[in-house]
């Protein structure tokens, strides 16, 4: 009995000291924090991407869901984690670009606390309406909104969500008003839209594409730069006469600030090659996500643009959501 204990102590000792001799990152499993519940867009992005990354990194990657407070709980924890490449975060536009302009006290600052790695995927938002809603295109919607100020209900997936801010941006750019009706997440908002309890909404294309195909929702416009190949009849906002409402929902990967250079480059390589691999690309395309896989520099520039744009929207629309 005693010798067994000794033996196990010895084995344990070797196991603990082993990494000191091994070279190169990663030597142990990597944790990817998703600050939202399992099953959502950030979660899907993380799981599909990391499955491929495991092959090139040669270590298991564990996805950990730490939901709470619009993603800021998990993001705050990652910001404080050790910058050794063993803790990463996959977060949404909300985590990186909207929370910082919306909340006064946030446990992290995306521009200062993170080493930004890459924007993994993006998906255009679409303006959809209940099929019985009188307006059939953006022009008619704008006229309708002008004739009926503060009447038309805009469903969103929550106060301060990207679709809420997109609606606010749309009102500001067209000089119209509407009633914002927030829900707890996108799914109940879409349900009420189909049921005719709410009128219009900006939603991720992937979440509503089947409802559009089935005729349960009416597609008025896409908020992308180009038309969508699946719904080529639907104009972009610009084509429909509304400038400056190009909005994508995006998911990006980051790590705590201060990664060692070799770890950072290895992570970037692994991420980019995983995202660009045909099977991962195919999987994302199937669910309406477009792979971006840009460099950390491009991500950083893009983030600054996004933050300043949403800051203007929030200030102009006097949108508040104080923590």
Partner 1 sequence: METISNLWLGLETALTFWNLTYCMTGVLLGTAIGVLPGLGPTATIAMLLPVTFGLPPVSALIMLAGIYYGAQYGGSTTAILVNLPGESSSVVTALDGYQMARQGKAGKALATAAIGSFFAGTVATVLLAVFAPPLADLALQFGPAEYFSLMVLGLVASVVLAHGSLLHAFGMIILGLILGLIGTDVNSGTTRYTFGFPQIADGINFVVVAMGVFGLGEIIGNLENEATRTAVLKSVTGLMPTREDLKRIAAPILRGTILGSMLGILPGGGAMLASFAAYTLEKKVSRTPEQFGKGAIEGVAGPESANNAGAQTSFIPMLTLGIPSNPVMALMIGAMIMQGIQPGPSVMTEQPVLFWGLIVSMWIGNLFLLVLNLPLIGLWVRMISVPYHFLYPAILVFCAIGVFSLNNATFDVYLMAIFGFLGYIFRKLDCEPAPMLLGFILGPMMEEHLRRAMLISKGDTMVFLGRPISATMLILAFILLATVLAPAVRQKREEAFQEEG
Q: What is the CB neighbour count within 10 angstroms for residue 67?
A: 16
Which neighbouring-strand residues pair with 204?
125
Please answer whether residues 207 and 194 qualify as being in contact, where contact means their C-beta atoms are separated by less than 8 angstroms: no
Among 86, 170, 183, 299, interactor with partner 1 by CB under 8 A:
183
Spatial separation of the C-alpha atoms in residues 143 and 151, rounded to whole Å: 13
Question: Is it true that the peptide bond before 26 is cis, omega within 30 degrees of 0?
Answer: yes
Q: How far is the CB of 43 from partner 1 (least distance, A)?
A: 7
195 in contact with partner 1 (CB under 8 A): yes
User: What does the block give as tokens for 262?
Assistant: 């070799």
Please answer whether residues 81 and 256 qualify as being in contact, where contact means their C-beta atoms are separated by less than 8 angstroms: yes
Spatial separation of the C-alpha atoms in residues 290 and 223, rounded to whole Å: 14
287 in contact with partner 1 (CB under 8 A): yes
146 in contact with partner 1 (CB under 8 A): no
Sole window of 22-30, 108-116, 203-211, 294-302 interacting with partner 1 (rule: CB under 8 A) = 203-211
Beta carbon nearer to partner 1, 111 or 153: 153
Sole window of 72-80, 256-264, 301-309, 310-318 interacting with partner 1 (rule: CB under 8 A) = 72-80
Among 158, 257, 281, 309, interactor with partner 1 by CB under 8 A:
158
64 in contact with partner 1 (CB under 8 A): yes
Please answer whether residues 66 and 60 qualify as being in contact, where contact means their C-beta atoms are separated by less than 8 angstroms: no
Crossing angle of helices 278-286/261-276, nearest 10°?
Answer: 60
Q: How far is the CB of 62 from partner 1 (least distance, A)?
A: 9
277 in contact with partner 1 (CB under 8 A): no
Spatial separation of the C-alpha atoms in residues 250 and 28, rounded to whole Å: 29
Q: Can you give the binding site for partner 1, defined by CB under 8 A?
A: 37-40, 43-44, 47-48, 51, 63-70, 72-73, 76, 102, 107, 150-151, 153, 158-160, 179, 181-184, 187-188, 190-192, 194-198, 206, 209-211, 213-214, 216, 283, 286-288, 320-323
């Amino acid at each position: 009995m005693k010798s067994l204990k000794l033996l196990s102590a010895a084995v344990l000792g070797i196991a603990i000291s082993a990494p000191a001799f091994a070279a190169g990152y990663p030597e142990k499993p990597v944790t990817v924090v998703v600050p939202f519940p399992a099953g959502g867009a950030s979660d899907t992005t993380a799981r599909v991407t990391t499955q491929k990354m495991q092959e090139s990194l040669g270590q298991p990657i564990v996805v950990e869901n730490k939901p709470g407070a619009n993603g800021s709980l998990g993001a705050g924890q990652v910001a404080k984690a050790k910058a050794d490449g063993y803790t990463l975060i996959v977060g949404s536009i909300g985590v990186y670009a909207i929370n910082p302009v919306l909340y006064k006290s946030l446990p992290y600052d995306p521009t200062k606390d993170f080493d930004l790695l890459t924007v993994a995927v993006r998906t255009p938002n679409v303006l959809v309406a209940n099929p019985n809603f009188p307006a059939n295109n953006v022009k008619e919607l704008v006229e309708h909104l002008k004739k009926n100020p503060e009447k038309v209900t805009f469903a969103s997936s929550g106060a301060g969500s990207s679709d809420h801010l997109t609606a606010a941006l749309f009102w500001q750019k067209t000089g119209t008003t509407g009633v914002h009706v927030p829900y707890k997440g996108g799914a109940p908002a879409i349900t009420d839209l189909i049921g005719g309890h709410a009128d219009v909404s900006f939603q991720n294309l992937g979440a509503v594409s089947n409802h559009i195909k089935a005729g349960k929702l009416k597609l008025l416009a896409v908020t992308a730069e180009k038309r969508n190949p699946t719904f080529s009849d639907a104009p972009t906002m610009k084509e429909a006469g509304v400038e400056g409402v190009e909005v994508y929902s995006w998911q990006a990967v980051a790590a705590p600030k201060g990664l060692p250079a070799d770890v950072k480059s290895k992570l970037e390589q692994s991420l980019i090659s995983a995202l660009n691999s045909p099977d991962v690309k195919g999987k994302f395309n199937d669910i309406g996500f477009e792979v971006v896989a840009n460099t950390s520099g491009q991500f950083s520039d893009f983030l600054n643009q996004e933050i300043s744009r949403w800051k203007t929207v929030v200030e102009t629309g006097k949108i508040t959501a104080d923590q």
